[in-house]
Structure 1
Amino acid sequence: MKVSCQLVVLVVLGLAVGSAFAYDPSPLQDVCVAINDPVNGVFVNGKFCLDPNKVTADHFLARGFNVPGNVSNPLGSVVTAADVQKIPGLNTLGISLVRIDYAPYGLNPPHTHPRGTEILVVLEGTLYVGFVTSNQLGNKLITKVLYPGDVFVFPIGLIHFQLNVGKTNAVAFAGLSSQNAGVITISKSLFGSTPPISVDVLTKAFQVDKNVIDYLQEQFWYDNNN
């Protein structure tokens, strides 16, 4: 009996740990096509579900990811997402995809995904990529130069970036371990928030003069997420 009780405790602890580290809930049904209809839908895993009998192939489809994105912007990059907002059939499945286009020397600026790990594969061009570990690990910068066919992983929640260091356009695709991983662009969040973060907070945080913070808050912080 004692052995059986210990086994049950271990199983329960295992389930608890598994739940604690899960970000997108596991699906409880075959499909849960997302709809914004609280009257005729059933609320599951963050979205209302379409009646399964009304599901079609189009709910699981996105087109046009072979078409280059418009990189004529201050960052020289654009991120085109295939997430639950674009593909309702992704709801509850815990995955999404993005295409990233870069102009020569284009940058996907330092950002984080609060709900997903990212795995990136380079199709064209040469990218300098990296992420920074947490304070606990001393904020170590991990970087690599990637070429076509290379794959690189950015752990969930960590600040990361990609810079096209080539003289031609670059293209990469990335998978994320969430139907809606979210994105927090560091510079835009800190200096372009609404309302602005107190200058007193930012001057002390960055140990710079107020004029520097005023200048940064006056800039237009472009969002390259499509």
Structure 2
Amino acid sequence: MAFHLLTIILVIVGLLSSFGSSFDPSPFQDFCIAANESKAAVFVNGKFCKDPKLATADDFFLAGLNVSGNPLPGLGSSVNSVDVNRLAGLNTLGISMVRADFAPYGLIPPHTHPRATELIVVIEGTLYVGFLAPDTTNPMKTRSFTKILSKGDVFVIPQGLIHFQYNVGHTNATVFAAFNSQNSGLIVVGSELFGSNPPLVDDVLSKAFQLDKKMVATLQGLFS
């Protein structure tokens, strides 16, 4: 790759570090390593804090971002996340990141991150990316903001807005993304609506999306 992996990571982390604690609480200590033991003295951001005297370098280390992560079934994409659930030292620091890999025409479907803005940098390939924002003149409409990105291009997605990434090239693609939250959250639009458990009443989905109930049942079957 033309870009060194370490350089890419430092750049995207640095770009977000200036506002990394804008949404997550600002820490009042140097670090608060997440621990599962309830005997710990402090409970912050949904995690107990490890006694700082017991901290080691391994609490701030995670290997493996040089490879693709968990595949998204049927979508031709995979995700390798680095958040507080995998790297305990991120707790209270207000930042996380992810690597996403795409086969040709692979997709990360429309989704939102309710707790974070996302900053994307393309490492390889060509991606069609974009987000939707409410149209202030018509609450039943949205505006789309989309771009074709190539290697080295950067795109920012505002917090909470629906967005997607689609590989429009004939070769594999890779992106790195940073978030100004230790745990950005994830809501995948299709599966949230049609794959809920228990399922939503079909009248709700039928009227909301102007679909007949047979199609609603079909979609619920696909996402369940």
**Normalised by the shorter chain, which TM-score bucket?**
0.7 to 0.9
| Aligned pair partner of 2:210 in 207, 212, 221 | 207
Residue 171 of structure 1 corresponds to which residue in structure 2?
A: 174
Matches within 5 A, 1:49-128: 49-69=49-69, 71=71, 73-128=73-128
Tell me the secondary structure at the aligned position of residue 101 of structure 1: strand
Q: Kindly indicate whether residue 173 of structure 2 is the aligned counterpart of residue 155 of structure 1.
A: no
Residue 139 of structure 1 corresponds to which residue in structure 2?
A: 142
Report the number of matched residues. 201
Structure-2 separation of matches of 1:41 and 1:171: 41
| Deviating more after overlay: 114-123 vs 40-49 | 40-49
Amino acid at match of 1:30: D
**Aligned 8 A contact 2:36 2:47 in 1:** yes
Amino acid at match of 1:219: L
Flag the structure with higher strand content: 2
Amino acid at match of 2:211: V
**Aligned 8 A contact 1:132 1:141 in 2:** yes
**Aligned 8 A contact 1:79 1:98 in 2:** yes
| Aligned pair partner of 2:220 in 214, 217, 226 | 217
Structure-2 separation of matches of 1:38 and 1:69: 30
**Aligned 8 A contact 1:35 1:41 in 2:** no
Large movers: runs of 4+ above 6 Å: none
Shift of 1:70: 5.8
Tell me the secondary structure at the aligned position of residue 134 of structure 1: strand
CA displacement, residues 132-177 of structure 1 (integer Å, 9 cap, x when unaligned): 0025364100000000000000100000000000111100000001
| Deviating more after overlay: 90-99 vs 69-78 | 69-78
| Deviating more after overlay: 133-142 vs 51-60 | 133-142
Question: Which structure 2 segments of 5+ residues have no match?
Answer: 1-20
RMSD (Å) for aligned C-alpha atoms: 1.6
**Aligned 8 A contact 2:68 2:80 in 1:** no
Shift of 1:38: 1.6
Shift of 1:79: 1.3
Structure-2 separation of matches of 1:72 and 1:84: 21
Question: Which structure 1 segments of 5+ residues have no match?
Answer: 1-20, 222-226
**Aligned 8 A contact 1:71 1:102 in 2:** no
Q: Kindly indicate whether residue 30 of structure 2 is the aligned counterpart of residue 30 of structure 1.
A: yes
Structure-2 separation of matches of 1:136 and 1:72: 34
| Deviating more after overlay: 61-70 vs 166-175 | 61-70
**Aligned 8 A contact 1:71 1:103 in 2:** no
Residue 4 of structure 1 corresponds to which residue in structure 2?
A: none
Question: TM-score, structure 2 length as denominator?
Answer: 0.86
Residue 196 of structure 1 corresponds to which residue in structure 2?
A: 199
Shift of 1:131: 0.2
